[in-house]
Amino acid sequence: MPDPLRAALVGAGHIARNAHLPAVHALAGAVELVAVTDADAQRAAAFAAEHRVPRAYADLSTLLDKERPDLVLVATPSATHAAITIQCLEADASVYCEKPLCASLAEHDAILAAERAGGGWCVPVFQWRSGSAARHLRDLLAAGTLGPPLLALCHTLWYRGPDYYAVPWRGRRDTEIGGATTTQGIHAIDLLLWLLPDWAEVTAGIATLDRDLETETVSMAQVRFASGALAGLVSSVLSPAERSSLRLDCRHATVQLEHLYQYDNADWTLTPAPGRPDPWAPPADEPASHTTHLARTVARLRDGSQPEDTAEDARRTVEFLTALYKSALTGAPVSRGGIGPDDPFYRSMWG
């Protein structure tokens, strides 16, 4: 077996402590955490001491120079992701970066250029793709077992109150990038577009209701796919009765997912159309989690193959989110492929 990947962690906050660190611990023998850095050097040192990380660094440049990690886990505020990712790729490290990966299509394309020029891969953390039920559904759709998709509903109805937005970088366009759509709804949106990748046009509206923020607290969108299928999307941080849901109505069956932040097979149901067989039989029960997603990523990196989820593939989601904001801010539908380098929305989701 190859040696464990030597991993470094950038960011020592909540998501690092509660998602990335448990995932690394669960993969002992495949990946080992050798160093951590944070914008607050004291917090990095305290994190290293508490969690027995061998070394803490005051800055990323020194960490990369001294450690030469195989993999860097990025768990920092949203607007820092692109620059950190590019710096790590230029140091020939692979990157496992929290969502949103970047603030614009321009930043995304810069990440792709750095990835092509370097020796590592950029893997966005889209852990909802990793659950065994979602992978089974994708296989059924690809095989045509369910018939053509006709209608999709994708809802992220979460609640984020004053305590959440008390963190200084949240709720600001320059630091959080976006609100309910790019910070919360992105998980379900990416899952939908991973299952049905041929989106063609989006018409959207956003609003900042009941919170004193720069970013949106609710968005709604109608999506048309190249196949003719339609989808309705709602993302909210104003919903005390929280839930995440995805529904696909295909010719031969309806498939539904109801959960909150992490699902397993029990959260999915398939209802066949009258007279149709029930093909629902996921081969395993792997939850959609950082641990599952990182395990699949590490396995590919250790055998020298391309990760399943790449920055190239994730561009579809970034382009869609950009188009959603452009539609909402201009009041017009936006087609896929319509935002090029000369468009102000290419360099900022807010135009």
For position 175, what pLDDT does the model report?
97
Q: What mean pLDDT comes out for the span 62-78?
A: 98
Please check whether residue 197 is in contact with residue 316, taking contact to mean a CB–CB distance below 8 angstroms. Answer: yes
The domains of the chain are located at 5-127+293-310, 129-273+281-286+318-335
Per DSSP, the three-state class of 331 is coil
129-273+281-286+318-335 belongs to which CATH class? alpha beta
What gap in Å lies between CA 164 and CA 137, rounded to an integer?
A: 34
The Cα–Cα gap between 30 and 125 comes to: 18
Reported as a single tens digit per residue, the pLDDT across 220-241 is 999 999 999 999 999 999 999 9
User: In whole angstroms, what is the distance from residue 66 CA to residue 84 CA?
Assistant: 17
What pTM, to 2 d.p., does this model score? Answer: 0.97
Q: Which CATH architecture has domain 5-127+293-310?
A: 3-Layer(aba) Sandwich (3.40)
Q: What is the mean pLDDT of the chain?
A: 97
pLDDT digits (tens, 9 = 90+) for 233-263: 999 999 999 999 999 999 999 999 999 999 9
> For residues 262 and 280, is the Cβ–Cβ distance under 8 A?
no
Res 124: pLDDT: 98
pLDDT tens track for 14-39? 999 999 999 999 999 999 999 999 99
Burial class (CB in 10 A: 0-12, 13-18, 19+), 208: middle
pLDDT at position 155, please? 98
Q: Find, among 96, 114, 25, the residue nearest to 309 by Cα.
A: 96
> What does the pLDDT average to over 55-70?
98
Q: Tell me the H-state helices in 69-184.
A: 81-90, 105-117, 132-143, 162-165
The CA angle 245-246-249, to the nearest 5 degrees, is: 140
pLDDT band for position 87 (cuts 50, 70, 90): very high
Structure tokens at 14: 């909540």
Q: Is the pLDDT of residue 1 over 70?
A: no
% of the chain surpassing 90 pLDDT: 99
pLDDT in tens, 131-155: 999 999 999 999 999 999 999 999 9
Kind of pairing between the strands at 122-124 and 94-97: parallel
pLDDT tens digits along 287-320: 999 999 999 999 999 999 999 999 999 999 999 9
DSSP state of 20: I
The beta strand positions in the chain, using DSSP E, are 5-10, 31-37, 55-57, 71-74, 94-97, 122-124, 149-159, 199-207, 218-225, 230-236, 238-250, 253-259, 268-272, 334-335
